[in-house]
């Protein structure tokens, strides 16, 4: 009888540990801070008219070899957040920044922000991010139909909307690097045929919901772990 109770207790402790690990692992997925919170914490402004500031930040990344030390260098991280927040939020940014940012994405932590809303554009259709073929096919259509010259055809405008939706609404890993970078070759010609990834005009604000959620998950995990251990002790 003792052996059975002992094994039950060990089983409960093991279950508690597994649940604790699952909670911690799950709370760490997509560990991207809000760009608005990054701007508040690192003292910069997200302003789509300040292209000079974006160019200055990009020049800093290039001049200071930030591709090899972005996560460990505060100044590199700050300047990457500047260009990334503007790249993802603003309808237009300097071309060199639009293409060059991808040289630093693998090395730097990223932040999250919705694209600036335009009342003249329709809403993007949420793609199935795990299905990469539609994005690849759409990019091939942009290339095949000379869409850098004109995006007025249905083939071009539809393909660009697909690429925009994948680019802005899916994780970087869901998109081939050639597509991730190549969208910028078509943005000028297709500006009038773009789509919105936000539902209306908004000002990026720091709400710190991610931190609150993570703290809540951790709290529940600790309480659950303690309860299971206490229950296990009663069997011993």
How does pLDDT run across 165-182, given as a tens digit for each residue? 998 889 878 888 888 888
Q: And the tokens for 79?
A: 């300047």
Residues 154 and 191 in one domain: yes
Any domain includes 125: yes
pLDDT tens by residue, 106-133: 899 988 888 889 999 999 999 999 999 9
Q: Is residue 167 included in any domain, yes or no?
A: yes
Please report the pLDDT score of residue 236 as a whole number: 55
Note down the domain range covering 123.
117-203
With a cut of 50, say whether residue 216 has pLDDT above it: no
Q: Number of structural domains, the chain?
A: 2
pLDDT at 211 over 50: no
Q: Tens of pLDDT along 43-65?
A: 999 999 999 999 999 999 999 99
Task: Tell me the pLDDT tens digit for each residue of 15-53.
Answer: 444 334 433 333 333 346 889 999 999 999 999 999 999
C-beta contacts of 3-7 below 8 A and 24+ residues apart:
5/235, 5/236, 6/235, 6/236
| Residue written as token pair 């997925």 | 29
Tell whether 138 is covered by a domain. yes
186 & 147 share domain: yes
SS (H, E, C) 100-122: HHHHCCCCCCCEECCCCCCCCCC
Q: Are residues 145 and 164 in the same domain?
A: yes
Domain-embedded: residue 218: yes
**Alpha carbon distance, N-terminus to C-terminus of the chain:** 11
Q: What is the pLDDT of residue 13?
A: 43
CB 36 within 8 A of CB 113: yes
Q: Say if residue 152 is in the same domain as residue 129.
A: yes
> What mean pLDDT do residues 192-206 have?
90
pLDDT at 110: 86
Q: What is the pLDDT of residues 140-154, one digit of tens each?
A: 999 999 999 999 999
Residue 43 lies in a domain: no
Q: What is the mean pLDDT of the chain?
A: 80
Instruction: Tell me the helices (H) and strands (E) count for the chain, helix number first.
Output: 9, 2
Q: What is the pLDDT of residue 214?
A: 41
Tokens of 152: 């007025």
Q: For residue 185, what pLDDT is reported? A: 86
Compare 101 and 17 and report the one with higher pLDDT.
101
Indicate whether 222 and 196 sit together in one domain. no
Residues 180, 222, single domain; the answer is no
């Amino acid at each position: 009888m003792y052996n059975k109770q002992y094994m039950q207790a060990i089983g409960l402790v093991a279950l508690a540990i597994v649940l604790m690990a699952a909670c911690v692992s799950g709370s760490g997925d997509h560990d991207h801070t809000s760009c608005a919170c990054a701007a508040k914490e690192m003292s910069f402004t997200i302003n789509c008219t300040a292209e000079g500031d974006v160019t200055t930040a990009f020049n800093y990344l290039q001049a200071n070899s930030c591709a090899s030390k972005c996560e460990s260098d505060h100044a590199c991280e700050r300047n990457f957040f500047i260009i990334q927040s503007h790249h993802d939020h603003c309808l237009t940014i300097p071309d060199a920044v639009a293409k060059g940012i991808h040289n630093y994405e693998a090395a730097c932590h990223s932040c999250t922000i919705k694209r600036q809303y335009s009342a003249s554009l329709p809403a993007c259709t949420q793609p199935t991010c795990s299905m990469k073929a539609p994005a690849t096919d759409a990019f091939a259509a942009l290339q095949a139909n000379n869409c850098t010259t004109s995006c007025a055809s249905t083939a071009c405008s539809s393909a660009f909307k697909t690429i925009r939706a994948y680019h802005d609404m899916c994780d970087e890993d869901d998109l081939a690097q050639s597509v991730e970078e190549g969208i910028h070759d078509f943005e000028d010609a297709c500006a009038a045929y773009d789509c919105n990834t936000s539902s209306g005009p908004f000002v990026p604000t720091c709400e710190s919901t991610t931190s609150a959620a993570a703290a809540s998950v951790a709290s529940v995990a600790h309480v659950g772990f303690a309860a299971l251990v206490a229950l296990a002790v009663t069997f011993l």
